[in-house]
C-alpha cells in the first residue's frame, strides 16, 4: 500500500492582482501565488545542512529545493514520504551549475543517505557519497526522474529502486562507482540495484557503473521488465579494499535472479574488465532481449545465458577469458559474432582512458573511440 502524505493544494483569499513572493526565514523559502489565489510552486534555496534536512522533510507537491554549492553532512537520513503529481513535481537539485556533494560520513552506522518514498520526484545534478549503507534509495516510486547524479563510495549499493509499484522511473546519466559494503565483504554493493519489487516502465540510460564491489547493475528479484540502454559497466568485483574475506561478484549487467522470470530489454550497452561475466541472466528464465551490446575482456564469459529463453542479436564479444558466450538450448541467437558466418569487426581503440573522462555539458556519456568499430550492424555504438 502506498503511503499518502495527506497534503493538498490550498487556496488563499487574495485579490486577482496578487502575484507576490513571500520570503520566509533563513532557508530562503519563496512562495509564489497565482493570479487566482491558489498556491503555486514553492522554491526553497538552502545553504546549510539543517536547511537541507528540513526542506526534504517538509517538501510537498510543487516544491523545488535548490541546494547551493558545497558539501553537506546530514546527521540523519534525508527522508520523505511526500508525493508530487505529474503537474506539480517535487524537485531536489543543485542551484544552477553549482557543484553539490551530500556526504554521509557523519550518519549513524547502517544509515542510508537518502530515502524517498513518494511519487513524481525529480532529483538531479547532485553527488551522494560516503553513506554507511545505501547512497540513494527510492521505494515504490512512480514517475521519478533521477538525472545527472553521482553515487560514490557508499557502504552498500550506490543507487537503488525497490518495492512494488516502482513504475515509470527514469535513471539518466548516473555515475555510480566505488561502492562497497564492508559488513557483507562486498557481496551487496552494486552501482545500481533495481531489486525486490515490481512495476513497468522503468528505464536506465547513459549510466557508468564501475569499480563497485559487487555488480555494475543488478536486477535481483525485480519481476517486471526494465529497459537498460546506452550504459557501461566496467571494473566491477575487484577487491580494492584489501578485504581478506572479500565476496564481491563482479558481473557487468546481472539481469535477474531469485526466481524472477522476466523479459528485460538490454540494448546498446558495454561491459568490460569485470571479474565475472559481462552480461548474465543469473538464472532468470525469461525471454530477455539483448541487442547490439559489447562484452570485452571480462574474466569469465562475455554473455552467459545458459538456462533461460533469452534472445540475443547483433552482440559482440571479444577477449573474454572463458569464452565469447555460454548459451542454453532455449536461447535464441542470431547475427552475433559467435554465430556462423558473422565476422568480428576490429575495434578502433582498446584504450579505455577516454571512457573515464568528463561527461558532456548535458550530462551524457563522454565521446570515445574505445570499443567502437564503425559498424552499423553489430556491437555497442559507445554513446
Catalytic residues: 254
Q: Is residue 123 part of a domain?
A: no
Domain count, the chain: 2
Are 324 and 197 part of one and the same domain?
yes
Are 40 and 157 part of one and the same domain?
no
Q: Are strands 145-147 and 170-172 parallel, antiparallel or unpaired?
A: parallel
Domain of residue 57: give its range: 19-99
Are 308 and 163 part of one and the same domain?
yes
pLDDT tens for the chain, residues 1 to 383: 333 333 333 322 222 222 222 223 334 444 433 333 334 589 999 999 999 999 999 999 999 999 999 999 999 999 999 999 999 999 999 999 999 999 999 999 999 999 999 999 999 999 999 999 999 999 999 999 999 999 999 999 999 999 999 999 999 999 999 999 999 999 999 999 999 999 999 999 999 999 999 999 999 999 999 999 999 999 999 999 999 999 999 999 999 999 989 999 999 999 999 999 999 999 999 999 999 999 999 999 999 999 999 999 999 999 999 999 999 999 999 999 999 999 999 999 999 999 999 999 999 999 999 999 999 999 999 99
Are 283 and 157 part of one and the same domain?
yes
Q: How far apart are CA 189 and CA 250, in angstroms?
A: 10
Q: Is residue 116 part of a domain?
A: no
Q: Is residue 114 part of a domain?
A: no
Find the largest Cα–Cα distance for the chain.
76
Q: How far apart are CA 200 and CA 202, in angstroms?
A: 6
Q: Is residue 373 part of a domain?
A: no
Are 185 and 77 part of one and the same domain?
no
Q: How far apart are CA 234 and CA 50, in angstroms?
A: 37
DSSP state of 38: B
Amino acid at each position: 500500500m502506498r503511503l499518502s502524505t495527506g497534503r493538498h493544494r490550498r487556496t488563499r483569499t487574495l485579490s486577482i492582482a496578487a502575484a507576490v513572493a513571500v520570503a520566509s526565514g533563513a532557508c530562503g523559502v519563496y512562495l509564489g501565488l497565482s493570479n487566482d489565489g491558489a498556491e503555486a510552486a514553492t522554491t526553497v534555496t538552502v545553504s546549510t545542512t539543517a536547511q537541507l534536512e528540513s526542506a526534504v522533510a517538509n517538501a510537498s507537491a510543487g516544491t523545488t529545493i535548490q541546494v547551493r554549492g558545497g558539501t553537506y553532512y546530514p546527521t540523519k537520513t534525508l527522508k520523505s514520504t511526500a508525493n508530487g503529481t505529474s503537474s506539480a513535481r517535487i524537485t531536489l537539485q543543485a542551484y544552477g551549475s553549482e557543484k553539490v556533494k551530500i556526504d554521509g560520513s557523519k550518519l549513524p552506522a547502517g544509515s542510508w543517505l537518502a530515502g524517498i518514498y513518494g511519487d513524481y520526484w525529480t532529483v538531479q545534478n547532485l553527488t551522494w557519497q560516503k553513506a554507511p549503507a545505501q547512497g540513494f534509495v527510492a521505494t515504490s516510486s512512480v514517475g521519478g526522474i533521477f538525472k545527472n547524479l553521482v553515487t560514490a563510495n557508499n557502504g552498500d549499493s550506490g543507487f537503488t529502486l525497490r518495492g512494488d509499484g516502482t513504475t515509470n522511473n527514469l535513471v539518466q546519466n548516473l555515475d555510480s562507482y566505488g561502492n562497497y559494503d564492508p559488513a557483507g565483504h562486498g557481496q551487496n554493493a552494486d552501482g545500481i540495484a533495481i531489486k525486490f519489487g515490481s512495476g513497468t516502465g522503468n528505464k536506465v540510460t547513459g549510466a557508468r557503473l564501475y569499480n563497485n564491489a559487487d555488480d555494475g547493475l543488478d536486477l535481483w528479484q525485480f519481476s517486471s521488465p526494465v529497459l537498460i540502454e546506452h550504459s557501461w559497466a566496467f571494473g566491477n568485483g575487484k577487491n580494492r579494499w584489501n578485504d581478506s574475506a572479500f565476496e564481491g561478484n563482479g558481473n557487468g549487467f546481472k539481469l535477474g535472479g531469485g526466481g524472477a522470470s522476466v523479459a528485460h530489454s538490454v540494448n546498446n550497452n558495454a561491459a568490460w574488465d569485470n571479474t565475472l561475466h559481462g552480461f548474465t541472466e543469473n538464472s532468470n528464465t525469461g525471454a530477455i532481449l539483448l541487442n547490439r551490446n559489447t562484452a570485452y575482456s571480462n574474466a569469465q564469459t562475455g554473455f552467459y545465458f545458459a538456462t533461460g529463453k533469452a534472445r540475443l542479436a547483433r552482440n559482440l564479444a571479444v577477449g573474454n577469458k572463458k569464452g565469447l558466450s555460454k548459451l542454453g538450448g532455449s536461447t535464441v541467437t542470431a547475427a552475433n559474432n559467435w554465430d556462423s558466418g558473422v565476422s568480428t569487426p576490429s575495434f578502433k581503440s582498446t584504450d579505455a582512458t577516454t571512457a573515464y573522462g568528463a561527461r558532456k555539458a548535458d550530462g551524457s556519456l563522454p565521446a570515445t573511440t574505445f570499443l567502437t568499430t564503425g559498424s552499423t550492424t553489430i556491437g555497442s555504438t559507445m554513446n
